[in-house]
Structure 1
Amino acid sequence: MRFAYGETAVILRAPLVAGPYGNEGRDWNAATRTDSPGWGFAPRTPDESTTSDSPSVIVGLTGYGPPDADVLPTDRMEVRGEVYEVEGEVGEWRSPLTGWRPGLEVALRRVYIAEG
């Protein structure tokens, strides 16, 4: 399913490179950028319960995308000019009765990049 008024997100995929101490990490400066049309986004609130006098804090977005979108748990996504990490596995909606695959669900968490 594609949303009639869906948004285009940019999927960022970084290669693995050797780190200074022999471990591997992602080189986000060398990431590929792929446009992915047909997404819908909704705000996410924290999973932990809050008291009635403490406000909810939005921690990211939930993305609803087309079933053929190429998104991995190690990717980042650019949405409305902001960069988010894919948090956890990518969920695929699929009917057990018909096999219909309406789309994907992706939890996104904002990436804060320190300057200086």
Structure 2
Amino acid sequence: MKQLTFHELQSYLQLKYKEGRTSSALFMKLVEEIGEVAEVLNQLEGRKTNSGHPSLEKELVDVIHYAVAIASINDIDLSRAIIEKDKLAAIKYKQSPNLEEFLVVQNKD
């Protein structure tokens, strides 16, 4: 299967949600999906009985879907934003390498 990039996902979701969905509507779906992740984690960690709820994988995909959709309809380049945010976090928490440096090393191989 082809590897999916953030750019491709964002382009797809921007097309999918270009009409009819607002950031706040997508955010409400995101919150709902985060609640579903919490339910699955509670079941997996024994705090709740398993009710045949969907898998953690599927629920996390839903969370990513709606978070990326919100970024997409607001013209936020997530690849750029993630790298920039990680640079700041790496400085703040004195971590090395930062994501950009890690990607440079990975792409040499």
Q: What range is the shorter-chain TM-score in?
A: under 0.3
Structure whose alpha-carbon radius of gyration is higher: 2
- Between 1 and 2, higher relative CO (CA 8 Å, sep ≥ 6) is seen in 2
- The TM-score with structure 2 as length reference comes to 0.27
Q: More helix per residue: 1 or 2?
A: 2
Q: More strand per residue: 1 or 2?
A: 1
- The TM-score with structure 1 as length reference comes to 0.26
